[in-house]
Amino acid sequence: MLNLFTGLFSFQFSSIEDLDAMLENGPWFIRNNLLIQKKWNPDVNLLKEDVGNVLVWVKLHGVLVTAFSEDGLSVIATKLGTPLMLDSYTSDMYSKEGHV
């Protein structure tokens, strides 16, 4: 539900597990706009916050085989910001190739 006064969306979940799954499986977009999620509690200020840092998942295309290693991908990602981790698919693919 969108609150037109604050510009905030609110969602209700049938279980804590569903809420946690939504928070963990993002990022989420509405009409190609990033939806920044935050778990509500009674102390949360419902005014829009200025966002300084946002964690994003970046999909890299055309990575050379010679750069396809944890270190190589980290160097590429460093040009975009501070890399935190490989996603599970890339990590699994990298492991199956026998490089780890």
Tens of pLDDT, residue by residue over 74-91, are 888 888 888 877 777 777
Q: Two tokens at 67?
A: 């750069």
Rounded to an integer, what is the distance from CA 7 to the centroid of its chain? Answer: 22
- pLDDT given for residue 100 in this prediction: 44
Band (17; pLDDT cuts 50, 70, 90): very high
- For β-strands 8-9 and 2-3, DSSP reports them as antiparallel
Band (15; pLDDT cuts 50, 70, 90): very high
Give the lowest-confidence range in 20-24, 53-57, 76-80. Answer: 53-57
Residue 73: CB atoms within 10 A of its CB come to 19
Output 69 or 48, whichever has higher pLDDT. 69
Q: How far apart are CA 6 and CA 80, in angstroms?
A: 32
Question: CB of 48 within 8 A of CB of 6?
Answer: yes
User: What's the mean pLDDT in 52-68?
Assistant: 77
